[in-house]
């Protein structure tokens, strides 16, 4: 990395450097785009995989034990080890990072979907049966909409975690902003490390706010009792799922 530009804060290697942001705007944009691409792809695939798994787990008790147990074990594997274990499967590629993130997101998503599906009131189901709804229609018209709040909560947590875990992908060269953090560490480039880290946190917060807005828009009925926000700490996903491994 050549810090050839004779600008003051770049040569002084300061933590905060506007000159860095303006001169490397393109590099930063590319890294951010890669970061978003990896995160969005991983969460999207995870949602598509988690739904059938959650349905299977709901159908058969033994499947529930197996699926939840396996995803929990996967969640325990540290990120660096996960990417390392996937290396021989995909070679050095973006798929390593995406696949790792999908596996982590599955734990959160399957649990939350299952909870959401189980929280559908029995009366709603019976009413649908009475109206002559079949299995498929019941799922898509009754159960999934009612399970949406839990599902969206899961997607939010999975997305925020994925944004942060993507950085570790730098080990295979596909870490989005993590690449900048990693190379900045080797060249002792403080502005690059701090800027990339700050962007990463901003991305996570932005994604969370955006998803929360979507959640509010598609589940207007949950806003009915707006004042009951000071409830107990929601237990499902906050408690024993480690934050960013």
Partner 1 sequence: MDVIGEAWTWLTTGSHWSGESGITHRLGEHLYLTGVCLLISCAVALPVAFWLGHGGGRRLGGALAINISNAGRAIPTFAVLVLLTLSPLGRHGELPTILALVLFAIPPLLTNAYVGVSEADRGVVEAARGMGMSRRQVLARVELPLAFPLIMTGVRTAAVQIVATATLAALAGGGGLGRVITAGFARYHTEQVVAGAVVVALLALAVEGLLVLAQRLFDPNRRRPRPGDAAPPRPTHHPTQLPTRPSTQPRPDGRRLP
Q: How far is the CB of 6 from partner 1 (least distance, A)?
A: 22
Cα of 109 vs its chain's centroid, Å: 10
Quick one: which of 139, 135, 158 has its CA closest to 204?
158
Q: Using the rule CB under 8 A, is 59 a contact of partner 1?
A: no
Nearest CB to partner 1, comparing residues 130 and 243: 243
d(CA 79, CA 65): 24
Question: Which residues are within 8 A (CB) of 30 and not within 5 positions of it... i.e. 6 or more apart?
Answer: none
Does residue number 239 form part of the binding site for partner 1 (CB under 8 A)? yes
Q: Could you tell me the two tokens for 224?
A: 């009915």
Residue 239, SS3 per DSSP: coil
Instruction: Between 132 and 232, name the residue whose CB sits nearer to partner 1.
Output: 232
Three-state SS sequence of 136-165: HHHHHHHHHHHHHHHHHHHHHHHHHHHHHH
Residue closer to partner 1 (CB basis): 98 or 181: 181
According to CB under 8 A, which one of 36, 40, 84, 138 is a site residue for partner 1? 84
Q: Under the rule (CB under 8 A), what is the footprint of partner 1?
A: 65, 68-69, 72-73, 76-82, 84-85, 87-88, 111-112, 114-116, 118-119, 149-150, 153, 157, 160-161, 163-165, 167-168, 170-171, 178, 181-182, 184-185, 188, 190, 193-194, 196-197, 200-201, 204-205, 208, 222, 228, 230-245
């Amino acid at each position: 990395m050549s810090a050839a530009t004779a600008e003051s804060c770049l040569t002084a290697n300061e933590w905060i450097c506007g000159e860095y942001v303006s001169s490397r705007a393109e590099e930063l944009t590319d890294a951010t785009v890669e970061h978003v691409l990896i995160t969005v792809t991983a969460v999207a695939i995870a949602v598509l995989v988690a739904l059938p798994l959650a349905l299977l787990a709901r159908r058969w008790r033994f499947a529930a034990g197996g699926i939840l147990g396996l995803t929990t074990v996967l969640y325990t594997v540290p990120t660096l080890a996960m990417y390392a274990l996937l290396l021989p499967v995909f070679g050095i590629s973006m798929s390593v990072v995406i696949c790792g993130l999908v596996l982590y997101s599955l734990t959160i998503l399957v649990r939350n979907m299952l909870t959401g599906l189980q929280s559908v009131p029995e009366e709603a189901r019976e009413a649908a049966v009475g109206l002559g709804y079949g299995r498929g229609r019941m799922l898509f018209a009754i159960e999934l909409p009612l399970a949406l709040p839990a599902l969206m909560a899961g997607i939010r947590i999975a997305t925020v975690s994925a944004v942060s875990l993507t950085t570790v992908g730098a080990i295979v060269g596909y870490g989005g902003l993590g690449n900048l953090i990693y190379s900045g560490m080797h060249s002792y480039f403080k502005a690059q490390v701090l800027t990339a880290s700050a962007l990463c946190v901003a991305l996570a917060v932005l994604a969370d706010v955006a998803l929360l807005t979507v959640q509010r828009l598609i589940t207007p009925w949950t806003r009915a009792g707006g004042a009951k926000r000071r409830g107990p700490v929601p237990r499902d996903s906050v408690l024993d799922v480690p934050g960013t491994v």
